[in-house]
Amino acid sequence: MTKKVAVILSGCGVYDGAEIHESVITLLRLDQRGAQVQCFAPNVEQMHVINHLTGEQTQEKRNVLVESARIARGQVKDVQEAKVEDFDALIVPGGFGAAKNLSDFAGKGADCTVQADVLRLAEGFAAANKPVGLICISPALAAKIYGPGVVCTIGNDADTSDAMTKMGATHEECDVHDIVEDTQRRLVSTPAYMLAENISDAAGGIYKLVDRILELTHEDDQ
């Protein structure tokens, strides 16, 4: 049975949007495994725009949905249109966009909030006990979605994991090639470029995450 997976993107580019390698690896693995995918993104202005050549902030203004369309080859919808009942699982790649556009974690840390439409959808998957995969920095939002006690990883970055702990998450250190699973909540996370030194490093954990998410969806068939 073909599984339907929603993927939330946060722009296009590691410093101000979705991490492109992580996003493409996720989409590639889902396609290799025969899943049907629909990308979504919030129709909001980016927090800011970074010149990825120099690392400096520019005066440009860009829209998260429009930028996400670059990765999705135009096949992306406003996250407001997403319905939990239409999908078997949800995956959120990383990149600073998760901490800047899907939330304000980059600026507020433990006091952050999640963008309203993204939070509605993610909470819906959690309430329906459907599998969710969070990649790279996006597990920083887990406690806001699931509440205290949620188990997840961003690798081993002390500052980020401390902020997650303050929000109520239980952080587990994890190798870049591995995953952490909260079996009660059916949440799977992997560090990816929080630790990865190259694209192959990132792919190792992301492939495991996608494979496990799809395994969990098939458990529902039994």
Q: How is the beta sheet containing 76-78 ordered, strand by strand? A: 76-78, 36-41, 4-8, 89-92, 132-135, 187-190, 180-182
* Residue 136 annotated to the active site: yes
Q: Into how many domains does the chain fold?
A: 1
pTM comes to: 0.96
Contact of 148 with 171, CB cutoff 8 Å: no
Render pLDDT for 9-20 as a digit per residue (tens, 0 to 9). Answer: 999 999 999 999
Confidence of residue 222 (pLDDT cuts 50, 70, 90): low
pLDDT exceeds 90 at position 83: yes
Q: What is the pLDDT of residues 120-147, one digit of tens each?
A: 999 999 999 999 999 999 999 999 999 9
152 and 173 in contact (C-beta within 8 Å)? no
Res 162 pLDDT > 70: yes
Round the average pLDDT of the chain to a whole number and report it.
96
Q: Which residue has the tokens 């580019």?
A: 13
Strands (DSSP E) contained in 93-136 are 132-135
Evaluate if residue 221 carries a pLDDT over 80: no
pLDDT digits (tens, 9 = 90+) for 185-201: 999 999 999 999 999 99
**pLDDT digit string, tens, across residues 40-67:** 999 999 989 999 999 999 999 999 999 9
CATH number at residue 13: 3.40.50.880
Helix (H) or strand (E) holding 8: strand 4-8
Selected catalytic residue, list 39, 112, 136, 152? 136
> Are 22 and 9 contacting, i.e. CB atoms less than 8 angstroms apart?
no
Q: Kindly give the pairing relationship between strand 187-190 and strand 180-182.
A: antiparallel
Q: Are 178 and 166 in contact (CB under 8 A)?
A: no
Segments forming the whole domain that contains residue 92: 4-219
